[in-house]
Amino acid sequence: MKRDICITINGEPYEATVDHRLLLVDFIREIAGLTGTHVGCSVEGRCGACTVILDGKAVKSCLLLAVQADGAQMMTVEGLARGDKLHPIQAGFWEKHGLQCGFCTPGLLMTLYEFLKAPKSSDEEIRAAMSGVICRCTGYVHIVEAVKHAIATVEAMTPEERREWFPL
Amino acid sequence: MYPKAIELYFAPKDVGEVLALLRQHSEHAKLLAGGQSLMPLMKLRLVEPRTVIDLNRVSGLSEIREDGGTLHLGAMVRHADVAAHPLIQRSYGLLADAAHSIGDPQVRNRGTFAGSLVHADPAADYPPAVMALDGRLLLAKADGSTRVLRIDDFLLGPLTSAVAEDELVTRVEIPTPPPRSGGAYAKHSQVAGDFAIISVTAQVTLDTAGKCQQAAIVIGGVMPKPGRAVRAAGMLRGTLLDDATLIRAGETAAAEVETHTDVRASAEYRQQLIRTTVPAMLRQAAARAGKAQP
């Protein structure tokens, strides 16, 4: 019924003995104590608020068992900033006011983190990239502007800077 | 919300190990692929497996390869890989279209090709696409035997496929379409990335004069599984796929494929969508066929 696992989140290893049925999102929130990752719909993986980066890909952490991520490298919203310096996607949201209540924001940031590794700049492509996270406040207009702001920042980066800001 | 207690969890490394586990545990076990359908069902307690066999660490199930006139797709190939693969985009366009219209980026990062076919949702994107390309599935059984099933024989009904409790789909094979072939897929749904109210898949092969040699039209989002518009496809043969013919094909398809009413749409609305979408998909398929290698 239980298994010993170790998941590296934001560079920090978290070891625990967990029930097979424990969801990855509950491991992140309750065992690792990283409550920036949110639970919205909680059932069918529709809302995307729980999106995290697992081995380089954006995934909904409510649709994985924690045991599946044993040995994996992950990043959550807490891993984006470097000290006081915001990640380009966070800076975009700050500059363009890409949020209102903020509940979906961690999911959007992590989904867009993957998108920004190889961004496409049309409105349609940006909107398609964030179609897996539901925001009930903004109507998405400011978020699209935030992404464009982030794309400009990322495109001006040196390869070394890109590796630093996109480690996974 | 979380699943019912799972007694045993296995993460086998190869197909042989999976089959050995199925020999012992098949009765109460579920194979976990991408989990984008199975996990919600487990959280809703509609599926309560005592044993979960996780396929995500099984090697050799993720290849995309073309040889001997066949496209081989490993069972664990993800939607994102199908959508982005240059070979699939070039020669199996409707498959890339179908993969791209599944769910959202996160779902496409996890969900798998064979997982979707095994799940057999009549409104899902891959089943009609694989039907239009006459795909077949390779199944491995716990006792070591294997079998091959045509997609039409594999899909039995809503959420029901022919895979047995002690069987694993290892690969899907798609015959490479002849030269001057092209296909297209599109769906109508209530919100972006949702399951289809109606989907239309069209695949055509042209002769050197631009006349239609062969055509397949498959309608998804109907019950109990995607339906072939055989008469509509048949009337295209020998024509230049001119507008009048395409419009008649749309009307014929709407008349021959049975539609149903549910919470998403009425039967009449579904018919209307078939009528208007079939010509559009045939037009796109023909345009791609025209651009394909002569």
Residue A44's pLDDT is 81
**Closest-CA distance of chain B to residue A65, Å:** 9
Residue with tokens 């070394």: A160
Contacts of A99 (CB under 8 A, 6+ apart): A93, A105, A108, A135, A137, A138, A142, A143
Least Cα distance to B281 among B186, B206, B144, B143 occurs for B186
**Closest-CA distance of chain B to residue A42, Å:** 6
For residues B1-9, average pLDDT: 95
Of B133, B156, B175, the position where a domain reaches its end is B175
Q: Per residue in B24-58, pLDDT tens? A: 998 889 999 999 999 999 999 999 999 999 999 99
Please state at what angle helix A88-96 crosses helix A141-155, rounded to 10 degrees. Answer: 140
CA nearest to B57 within chain A:
A68
Q: Is residue B78 part of a domain?
A: yes
Residue B194's pLDDT is 85
Contact B12, B52 (CB under 8 A): no
| B271 shares its domain with B192 | yes
Residue A119's SS3 state is coil
* Side chain identity, residue B233: A
Global confidence as pTM: 0.95
Residue B147 lies in domain: 64-175
Q: Is residue B147 part of a domain?
A: yes
CATH number of the domain encompassing residue B95: 3.30.465.10
Q: Is A64 in Cβ contact with B39 (below 8 Å)? A: yes
| B68 shares its domain with B170 | yes
* Side chain identity, residue B10: F
- Confidence grade of residue B128 (pLDDT, cut at 50, 70, 90): very high
Q: Which of A20, A48, A63 sits opposite B39 (nearest CB)?
A: A63
Q: Is B104 in Cβ contact with A131 (below 8 Å)? A: yes
- State how many domains chain B has: 3
Q: Is residue B1 part of a domain?
A: no
CATH number of the domain encompassing residue B30: 3.30.43.10
A128: which chain B residues are within 8 Å (Cβ-Cβ)?
105, 192
User: Of all residues in chain B, what percent carry a pLDDT higher than 70?
Assistant: 99
Residues belonging to chain B with any Cβ–Cβ distance to chain A shorter than 8 Å: 1-9, 11, 32, 35-36, 39-40, 43-44, 52, 54, 56, 80, 103-107, 109-110, 192-193
Fold type of domain A2-79: Ubiquitin-like (UB roll) (3.10.20)
Architecture of domain A88-165: Orthogonal Bundle (1.10)
The residue extents of the domains of chain A are: 2-79, 88-165
| B145 shares its domain with B211 | no
C-alpha of B83 from chain center: 13
Q: Per residue in B90-109, pLDDT tens? A: 999 999 999 999 999 999 99
User: Of the given ranges (A116-120, A144-148, B74-78, B178-182), which has the lowest mean pLDDT?
Assistant: A116-120
Secondary structure string (H, E, C) spanning B151-179? HHHHEEECCEECCCCCEEEEEEEEECCCC
Q: Which of A1, A45, A131 sits opposite B192 (nearest CB)?
A: A131
| B281 shares its domain with B203 | yes
A131: which chain B residues are within 8 Å (Cβ-Cβ)?
104-105, 192-193
- A70 is written with which tokens? 């044993």
| B98 shares its domain with B196 | no
Q: Which of B5, B9, B109 sits opposite A3 (nearest CB)?
A: B9
Q: Which of A23, A128, A132 sits opposite B2 (nearest CB)?
A: A23
Of the residues A63, A70, A114, the best mutation for testing chain B's interface (the one with the most B CB atoms within 10 Å of its CB) is A63
| B77 shares its domain with B168 | yes
B193: which chain A residues are within 8 Å (Cβ-Cβ)?
131-132
Question: d(Cα B193, Cα A125) in Å, to the nearest integer?
Answer: 14
Q: Is A20 in Cβ contact with B5 (below 8 Å)? A: yes
Residue B294's pLDDT is 55
Question: d(Cα A130, Cα B109) in Å, to the nearest integer?
Answer: 13
- Confidence grade of residue B291 (pLDDT, cut at 50, 70, 90): confident
| B234 shares its domain with B259 | yes
Question: d(Cα B55, Cα B61) in Å, to the nearest integer?
Answer: 9
